[in-house]
A and B are shown apart, each in its own frame.
Chain A
Amino acid sequence: MSNPVIFKRLRGQSIVILLALVILVFSLLSPGYFTTQNFLNILLQASGLTIVATGMTFVLLTAGIDLSVGSIMFVAGVISGKLVVGGLSVWLAVPVTLVLGIILGLMNGWFVVRFKIVPFIVTLATFFAGRGLGLLISETRAVNLPDEFLQIGSARILGIPLPVIIMIMVVAVAQLVLDRTVFGRQVYAVGNSQERSVKAGINLNRVLLRVYIICGCCAALGGLVAIAQLGAVSPTFGFQSEFMAIAAAVLGGTSLFGGKGRVFPGTLVGALLIQSIQSGLVIVNADPYLYPLITGTIIFLIVLVDSQRHYRRKQMKGIST
């Protein structure tokens, strides 16, 4: 190691390096990749996933899981679409939808804290119920959205697309909350050990309730941001989004066992990584059938590199103590 300080700094940020590597490879493969326009596109297309994954990070930090985010995205999309089609102003439909996300998250959290049911089962139930509800409202047809929605999706402020601005704000606020509020620090404590948290006097139920509310709200917002770019809500919208959101958070260094992880850079970079691969595959004109194969392989390799590094560091740590 010629420069141990730099090496040490980079070691904590291997996900950023891997992101750079993915960008480098695609840039070499296609000249169209390394352009401001394309990067803006990646940010734009990643905005929905990032917002959903940000909420998911809160839940994962408490060692919980939320399988219902895909369904919440779907319900949020369908209901806001129906409301606007029915004549409600977009500016009213959006807050109504967010409140809906909060209510669904509240339900998840309430069952987790009140009945002590494992989050996996609670959110599995809302996964089914939410998707069913969405299908019921949409009558299992795609909901085409009026132009107002697409205008939000394509609006720009100072040249930056609105969805990207929303994404940046969500990530910034989330990281501020995690870092600098009592609640944020207690989320990490709860994720480390619920038993110890109670002993330390933390209001465990309040913390858990809040993370599911945040996750529900982020899922609804992420759903809105995504459909604002798509223009329609198909009956499969949000399908397996829960897994993509978890993947983004975990790629960004969040542990599924709680207490470890960050929204910035972690989850943001994780989501951008996934989107960079998918955009790259489009740009290099890969066979669309190969998308999931290549995406799966690349994520697998990233996790492999990361876990080897983690494993070795754990062994090294044993040495230093």
Chain B
Amino acid sequence: MTKSPNIILYLCLVYYLAAALVTPGFFTVNNTWNLLYNLMPLLIVAVGQMLVILTAGIDLSVTAIIAVTSVVGGYIMSADYSPVDSSSLAIALGILGMVITGGIIGLINGISVAKLKMPAFMVTLTGLMFFGGFAVWLTKSQNIYNLPAGLVDMPYTSFLGLPLPIWTGLLVLGLIYLVLNKSLLGEWIYAVGVNPKTSRISGVNVDLTIIMVYMLSGVTAAIGSVLYTARLETGSPVMGQNLLLDVIGAVVIGGTSLFGGKGLLQWTVAGAFFMAMLDNSLNLAGLSYFLIMIVKGVIILSAAMLNVWGERKVIWSA
């Protein structure tokens, strides 16, 4: 594994400092919380996506999973629909339901790719259409309101000085770190991404590995959805609709190869941080929505150019 210092880490720092100097209101306590709130769900979804991309797959269905789980969670928890009276029980069941739903969709994706030998791109693209449509059909495009106070307050509830979303993010990161860098599954994920044939001959359970990464991607998308749902205080069938390319962009800009086998967790963290910071700082700068998109495009491209340039320098100096 090449552990060359990835330039995206430095890029994040430089951008952060620049934004702090140039953008009024960026380097404030308030905005830092804001940035972290925005970052957490994106980060959680992106690390799940990274696992899939490491096996040379792709999961385009994550935004649909976010939408479906948001709706499912909404139905379980909302006072308008919920069969459960106690709101804390409803929250627990709701979150459980969301995670299970995400896991099941991931399982379907994984089986289709691993066992049915279908191309990941098409499987998850039809998943995006189907489950995205499913969420809209379930709700007839209506948002689900009246979520329990416990969930709505969750982003602002602190435990040991840190708000719960940040704990959630750290927990997911920690677990994925263990999986990827310390566990059998992690070794298998990288091996399958590099060469599935060699892996299989060497006793790696390739199919199981592939199914697991899609399930983990589904579960992380569901956890991301919990945070989004809590933050927006609604179960929405179009939640996350515009997120897909942000998520994959965060992984790829972090340097993970779309051809599999190459990428580190900290790169994706940096990539997600970069994307979140970009949105946050451009918003603060008072740019309009469309200018934000243009500038975002330009900055992504510049970051990629610097990244390529940085990698080349590493090769030259080595």
Residues of A within 8 A of B (CB): 67, 111, 115-118, 120-122, 124-136, 140, 243, 246-247, 250, 256, 287, 289-293, 295-297, 299-300, 303-304, 307-308, 310-311
Contacts and interface: CB of A to CB of B under 8 A. Distances in A.
Interface in B25-62: 60
A243 to B, nearest CB: 6
B310 to A, nearest CB: 12
Given A120-B258, A125-B300, A125-B301, A131 B293 contact: yes
Interface stretch (B91-99, B123-131, B218-226): B123-131
A296 B121 CA distance: 13
A57 to B, nearest CB: 15
B252 A121 contact: yes
A171 B152 CA distance: 53
Interface of B: 60, 112, 116-119, 121-123, 125-130, 132-134, 136-137, 140-141, 245, 248-249, 252-253, 258, 288-298, 300-301, 304-305, 307-309
A307 B308 contact: no
Nearest to B138: A289
A293 to B, nearest CB: 5
Contacts, number: 144
Nearest to B301: A125
14 contacts: A122-B301, A125-B300, A126-B297, A132-B294, A140-B289, A246-B125, A292-B129, A292-B130, A292-B132, A296-B128, A296-B129, A299-B129, A303-B126, A307-B119
Nearest to A251: B122
A131 B245 CA distance: 13
A94 to B, nearest CB: 25
Contact of B137 (A135, A289, A297, A300): A289
A127 B119 contact: no
A114 to B, nearest CB: 9
Nearest to B136: A289
Q: Which of B136, B290, B300 has the largest number of chain A CB atoms within 10 A?
A: B290
A121 B253 contact: yes
Contacts of B309: 115
Given A121-B301, A304-B116, A243 B249 contact: no
A310 B117 CA distance: 9
A291 B297 contact: no
Given A135-B289, A287-B137, A293-B137, 8 more contacts: A115-B308, A118-B252, A121-B252, A125-B304, A128-B293, A129-B297, A296-B133, A307-B117
B122 A303 contact: yes
B130 A308 contact: no
Contact of A111 (B116, B126, B296, B301): B301
Contacts of A287: 137
Contacts of A130: 297
A256 B300 CA distance: 24
Taking each of A140, A247, A290, A292, which has the highest tally of chain B beta carbons within 10 Å of its own beta carbon?
A292
Contacts of A304: 112, 116, 118
Given A116-B308, A307-B118, A243 B125 contact: yes
A119 to B, nearest CB: 10
B293 A132 contact: yes
B183 to A, nearest CB: 29
A135 B297 CA distance: 14
Given A125-B301, A136-B294, A117 B308 contact: yes
B137 A132 contact: no
B217 to A, nearest CB: 18
Contacts of A67: 245
A24 B130 CA distance: 23
B290 A296 contact: no
A307 B291 CA distance: 42
Contacts of B245: 67, 124, 127-128
B67 to A, nearest CB: 12
Contacts of B249: 121, 124
A135 B305 contact: no
B130 A128 contact: no
A140 B297 CA distance: 18
Contacts of A247: 122, 125
